[in-house]
Structures are given as C-alpha cells and as structure tokens.
Structure 1
Amino acid sequence: MNDDQPRDKKAKAYIPRKMTQARLANIALHYLDRYASSAQNLKRVLERRVYKASLYHEDLDVQVAHGWIDELIERYLRSGLLNDLAYAETRARSLMARGSAGRVIRIKLMEKGIAPDIIDQALKALEEEHPDPELAAAIKLARRRRLGPYADPTKRDDKKDRDMAALARAGFGYDMAQRIVECDDKDELEDLLNPPAHNFS
C-alpha cells in the first residue's frame, strides 16, 4: 500500500454533516435523552457541534446557527425539558453521595453554567434531606476510600496524614477531616450518617 495515498473512505466518515435547524434540534434531543444537562451546558455542546460543522461547511452561518441554539434553549426551558434547578438538585445529591464537599459541589455546578442563586437552592435542598450534608459527604468519601476508621486497623497510624490530605483534596476543611480521621469507630460515623428514626406513637 502506498503511504502517500490518503485514506479517503476513513477520513470521509468523520466529516460532519451540514448543520441545519432541524438537525441541531435532533442533536439537542438526542443529547438530552442520554444525559442530564443544564441550559448553559447544552448550549456549549451545541455550539461545539456548530463550530465543528463550520470547519467543513464554509457556507454555514455560525451566527445564524447560534440564534437557532438560543431559540432551542428558550423553548426547552419553557416546556420544562430543561430545568436548571432540578438538574442542580439531582447533580448536587449525586456528588454528595460520592463524597464531594459543598465547595466542590458549588464549583462543579458553576462549571455547568448554573446560576449562583440556583446553586444556593440546590445546596439548601441537601440540608433539608440531611441535617449535616457536609458531614454526610465526608463519611461517604471515607467509606468509599477506606479512610480513618474504615481503613485497615494495622495501617491507620501510618495513613493518617494521607487520609487527611485525601479529605482536604475533596474540599473538606481541617476540622472535618480531623473529625473523620480521628474517629475510632466506623459504626459511630454510620450512626451519624443514618440517625435512628424517632417513634412518637
């Protein structure tokens, strides 16, 4: 095979189709069918698709295409297909379950284009679900990463500094990290994570 010959068939497979308003809407719906998204995140996704298409189709008016995107976003917000508050609450809950501190959750939501007031509402919702979401997240991270009392008892003393560092990297303050690492009994943390229900009957 001559190395100078272009791989035309393979190359053509990666050339994006010309962008139209209908195609853009199909791309948006397909994306939303697969992923939860904020309005700003979807806008960025569609703008990237328009940009890639413009590299191969010089007659594509990028500004016009951006107008199509704005119309789609507005339509989906009105219909409820996009709901930044619902997205933020779901994403915040998921991040907390994985052991992300509040400040990390805030940053990740900001990266998705969520407005500060909506982020505040999402974090407030976490407080309504758990009396101390920061502690709950720290315990869940400790459990998942085997930090503090979740670690091998024979290695705990050697791991303390590394465990503190792991919690700090996850966004937790010194006091919270120390509380987790210095705890002697993981059952004590589990009780804090799942407080017993009160029977008032």
Structure 2
Amino acid sequence: MKRALVVSHVAYEGIAGYRAPIEAAGYAIERVPACATDFAVLDMIAPDLLVVMGGPMGVYDTADYPWIAPEIDGIAARIAVGRRTLGVCLGSQMIAAALGARVYPGHGPEVGFAPLANLDMESPLAHLAGVAMLHWHGDTFDLPAGARRLASTARYANQAFAVGDHVLALQFHGEMGEDPRFETWVDEGGAMIAAAGLDAAALRRDHAALGPLAVRAGQRMLADWLDGPG
C-alpha cells in the first residue's frame, strides 16, 4: 500500500474531507505533528504523498516556531526530486517558500465561503467551478517561478498553483465544510473574523448551507489530481 504522510501544525487543522479520496487512491495515512517533529532527520522524500496542512502561524515566524525552516527545507528537497506534494493554506505558503517565492502578510484577512475565479479549467480545479469554497487566511505569496496559477479571488491573485504534475498548492480549504473542528476555527478566530467584517453566526450558517457542497467538490478535485501522473 502507498504511504501518505500528513504534517499537521495545529490539532484543529487535519485532512478532514480529503481523507476519503486519499484512502480511495490506495494510500495509508500517517500523521506527524510539526511541533514534535525533527524535520532535520525525518525522511520527507520517502512517502508516496506528502500533505502539508494549515495553521495560524506564518512561514516567517521562525523565531517562535523553530521547526518552520527545516520543514520548508524538507519540502524543497522533496519537490526537487519530483515527489507528489500537496499543500493546504499554510502548506501552500510553505511550498511557495520552498520554491523561492516571497510569502508575506496580505492586505487583510480573507474569511468565509466564496467561489474562486480564473479557474484553470484544464486542471483538477475545474471541479470547483461555481462552488463557494472556504477561505481562512491573512498571508499570501508571490507565484513561484515555473508554477502555473490555477485560481484567484478578487482579494488575492494566488489561490492555487501547480508545479508539473507532482505539486498542488491550495490557499483555500477544499477539505472543510463538514468537519466539527470548524467550531474551533470560529472560536479561535474571533479577531480575524471581525477584521474580515463577518460574524460567527453568519459563518456557522454558511458552513451548514455551503459546506457539504464545498467538500464534495474538493474531494472530486483531489481524486482527479491523485489519479493523474505524478
């Protein structure tokens, strides 16, 4: 059986809805918490799939999170040898940094359910057309050299990119929409929610109404990508 290694940065950001397509593609899932992992010795090249999840920290917060720099180094080494790698939110920012792109605080938080624009309809993200996906970030990044932009929003141009067939970086959350850990996101994210001009009650309503559709679309997208070369 193929092996998928999932790197989690906080307990409330797991693979959620992405579990089903990953397991359906024949992967056995293993997890490591970043805060307790020595990335200088962890073999990040060996797994058949690496999934780097999200978190509230930024890639530039290396003084507070000393594991960030060696994790990015491990991602860079893996990408350099063409191994299949998926990044979600912070994970997408780490991939961008591993490819030499600048990652930095954006001009305001992007929070809540909204559709993507400028979708690359020749990519697996075609499954997301017209579907409101969950956004929950305040950082952004420059498009790495050699990467193909796959989606945008009005606020942030780089919502997703690919490198060849083996790297997929997603700023938005196609895995979330039915996971009960969303309650922790809302509870922990009061300041970010307010800065985005939203309120917790509206987010919960949108999660109930739009979340299941977002998860189904995200699962189709990921299944398509995993079924391709890479």
- TM-score, shorter chain, exceeding 0.5: no
Structure with the greater alpha carbon radius of gyration:
1
Q: Which structure carries more helix by proportion?
A: 1
Question: Normalised by the size of structure 2, how large is the TM-score?
Answer: 0.23
Question: Normalised by the size of structure 1, how large is the TM-score?
Answer: 0.26
> Relative contact order, CA 8 A, sep 6+: which one is greater?
2
Q: Which structure carries more strand by proportion?
A: 2
